[in-house]
């Protein structure tokens, strides 16, 4: 038998409540594994235990999402999920690039510097394009920087490389935005005086 996430969550919530109540009343230690084994028993005892778990889970149903599964697969939701996946892939690629290149970059290896710079810029761009609030993106950026710094004993060099890459990314973004307005304006004859 295969359980949905919702059914499994209901079982865990109801089972944990029942387990705690049973331990309080009996004074004995009952593990969750023992509860699961008892709930899977055939016969009247197993059935009563499963029903008790269901009743307790119903009392805590406010913790479970009521959104139908098909509503979670809209085009917009799927685009957000794809953007999040791209972000996490870019961050992990940058952390892997740190592991591979930080030591060589600390010894002034140009190729290693370029590899780190490219990976870090890609990660900053992916984070910037991640759906969510500005605070969410700031937290994601801070987590990325911390992971990169902890991935190597050359944390000072990585911090400098992260700062350079972020500055370069922001300057490129600024240049891209300003280039849209950089065109010479064609004035209509009405404005000539």
Global pTM reads: 0.56
Residue 63 has what pLDDT? 63
pLDDT of 183 > 70? The answer is no
pLDDT of 190 > 60? The answer is no
Mean pLDDT of the chain: 84
| Domain range list for the chain | 5-63, 75-179
Residue 3 has what pLDDT? 62
pLDDT of 185 > 70? The answer is no
SS3 of the chain: CCCCHHHHHHHHHHHHHHHHHHHHHHCCCCCHHHHHHHHCCCCHHHHHHHHHHHHHHHHCHHHCCCCCHHHHHCHHHHHHHHHHHHHHHHHHHHHHHHHHHHHHHHCCCHHHHHHHHHHHHHHHHHHHCCCCCHHHHHHHHHHHHHHHHHCCCCHHHHHHHHHHHHHHHHHHHHHHHHHCCCCCCCCCHHHCC
Mean pLDDT check: name the lowest of 62-66, 72-76, 92-96, 147-151.
Answer: 62-66
pLDDT of 69 > 60? The answer is no
pLDDT of 122 > 90? The answer is yes
**Per-residue pLDDT averaged across 49-68, rounded?**
77
What pLDDT band is residue 161 in, cutting at 50, 70 and 90?
A: very high
pLDDT of 36 > 70? The answer is yes
Residue 66 has what pLDDT? 60
Residue 148 has what pLDDT? 93
pLDDT of 92 > 70? The answer is yes
């Amino acid at each position: 038998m295969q359980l949905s996430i919702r059914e499994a969550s209901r079982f865990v919530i109801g089972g944990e409540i029942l387990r705690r109540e049973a331990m309080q009343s009996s004074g004995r230690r009952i593990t969750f594994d023992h509860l699961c084994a008892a709930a899977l028993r055939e016969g009247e005892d197993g059935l009563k235990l499963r029903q008790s778990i269901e009743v307790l889970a119903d009392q805590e149903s406010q913790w479970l999402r009521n959104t139908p599964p098909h509503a979670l697969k809209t085009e917009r939701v799927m685009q957000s999920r794809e953007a999040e996946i791209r972000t996490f892939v870019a961050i992990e690629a940058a952390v892997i690039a740190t592991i591979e290149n930080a030591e060589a970059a600390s010894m002034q290896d140009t190729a290693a510097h370029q590899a780190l710079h490219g990976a870090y810029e890609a990660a900053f761009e992916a984070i910037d394009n991640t759906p969510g609030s500005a605070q969410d993106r700031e937290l994601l950026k801070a987590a990325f920087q911390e992971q990169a710094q902890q991935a190597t004993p050359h944390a000072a060099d990585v911090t400098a490389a992260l700062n350079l890459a972020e500055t370069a990314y922001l300057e490129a973004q600024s240049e891209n935005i300003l280039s849209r307005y950089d065109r010479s304006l064609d004035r209509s004859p009405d404005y000539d005086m």
